[in-house]
Structure 1
Amino acid sequence: MVPTWRRVHDGRWIQELPQADDRSHLLFPFFNEIGIISQLSGRLLESHLPDGFVLAHFTVLNHLTRLGDGRTPMSIATALQVPKTSLTHTLAGLHKAELIRFEPNPKDNRSKCVMLTDAGRQFRETAIANISQDFGGFLKDFSMDEIEAALPLLSRIRAHLDKARD
C-alpha cells in the first residue's frame, strides 16, 4: 500500500495509509486452501513414487529440471526452503539411486554441483506420467479452461512469494 499526503486545516501535511480492503479477511482462507491443495497433491504424487522415494526426492528432481542442474546443495536448500542437513539426506538417496551425480563446483572447487542423470530425468517423467492417470477424475470436475485461467494467477502469486523470500 502506498501512503498519500494531505494537508489538514492548520496547514500541516499528514501522511495517510490507504484503508485496508474490507475483504482482507479472505487472505488467510485463500492461502489456507493453497496449503491444503499442496498437501493433498503432494501425497497423491508421493503415492505414485517407487518404494523408498518420497516427495522430497521428486521435488529436487523437479527443481533441477525446471531451473537447470549444476546448482550447489546450498542453493537448492535455499530455493526449497529446507535445512541443508535435510537436503543432504535427500541428495544422498538420489545419488545412491543414481538419479543425480556430484561434480566439482567450477567456481570454487570447495563445493559441489548437483547434476541430473538421464535416469533422474526419466524418474521425474515417469512420476508425472503415473500421476497423470489420476487426473481423469479431476477433469470430470474441472475443465482445462478453468485450469488454464487459474495458471497466470498462481504463477504471479508464486513469483511474488519468491521475490518476498529473497
Structure 2
Amino acid sequence: MDESTSQDLVFFKVFNEIGIIHQLGSTAFEKTLPDGLKISQFSVLNHFVRLGNDSTPLQLANAFQVTKGAMTNTLKRLLVRELITIRPDPKDGRRKRVFITEKGRITRDQCIQQLAPLFDILKKSLSESDFRTVIPFLQKLREILDEERNPL
C-alpha cells in the first residue's frame, strides 16, 4: 500500500467512525426525546440556540442540506408544538422569519438533560478530558466541510 492510499484509508476510517457514532448516538438520543419530537426537529431548535439568531425557512433548509419542502414540514411540526414562531420579514413581506420560543429553548435543554444516563455510561470509560481533546479537531473538520459543501 502506498503512502497516499494509506493516508486515504486513515481519512476514511475517521469518517467511518463518525458515521457509526452518529447512527448509535442518534438512535440512543431519539429514544429519550419527548413523544412525537424527531431528531430533525430537535436539530432545528439546537441550531437556533447554538447560533442565537433567526433564519428564513430557505436558510434553514440550506443549513441542514434538505429541500425547502422538508424544512417547511419540520417547521410546521415545531410551530404546532409552539417551539418556534414564524413572522413576516419586516424588510420583505414575501419572506418569513423563524424564531425559537422560550418553550423551544426549554424543550431543547430538557432533551439534552435526558441524555444524562448515556453520559454516565460514557463517563465510566472516557474522561471529560478525552472529550475536550477531540472537540477542536471535530470543530475544524465541521468548519472545513461546511465551507466546502458539495465539492464533488
How far the C-alpha of 1:53 sits from its partner, in A, is 1.0
Partner of 1:23: 7
Opposite residue 38 of structure 1, the aligned amino acid is H
Opposite residue 24 of structure 2, the aligned amino acid is L
- Describe the superposition over 1:77-132 as per-residue Cα deviations: whole angstroms up to 9, x where unpaired: 10011111111111001000000011111231111010111100000000001112
Q: 1:157 aligns with which of 107, 121, 141?
A: 141
Larger Rg: 1
Mapped to 1, the partners of 2:108 and 2:143 lie a distance apart of 23
Gaps of 5+ in 1: 1-18
TM-score if structure 1 supplies the norm length?
A: 0.84
Mapped to 1, the partners of 2:19 and 2:6 lie a distance apart of 23
Q: 1:122 aligns to what SS in structure 2? A: helix
Partner of 1:146: 130
1:136 aligns with 2:148: no
Q: 2:50 aligns with which of 53, 66, 85?
A: 66
How far the C-alpha of 1:28 sits from its partner, in A, is 1.4
Partner of 1:37: 21
**Number of residue pairs matched by the alignment:** 148
Q: Contact 1:105–1:113 at 8 Å: present in 2 too?
A: yes
Q: Contact 1:57–1:94 at 8 Å: present in 2 too?
A: yes
Partner of 1:89: 73
How far the C-alpha of 1:133 sits from its partner, in A, is 2.6
Mapped to 2, the partners of 1:21 and 1:163 lie a distance apart of 25
Opposite residue 39 of structure 2, the aligned amino acid is L
TM-score if structure 2 supplies the norm length?
A: 0.91
Q: Contact 1:69–1:114 at 8 Å: present in 2 too?
A: no
Gaps of 5+ in 2: none
Q: 2:37 aligns with which of 53, 66, 72?
A: 53
Using the aligned pairs only, state the percent identity: 39
Opposite residue 82 of structure 2, the aligned amino acid is E
Opposite residue 127 of structure 2, the aligned amino acid is S
**Greater relative contact order (CA < 8 Å, ≥ 6 in sequence):** 2
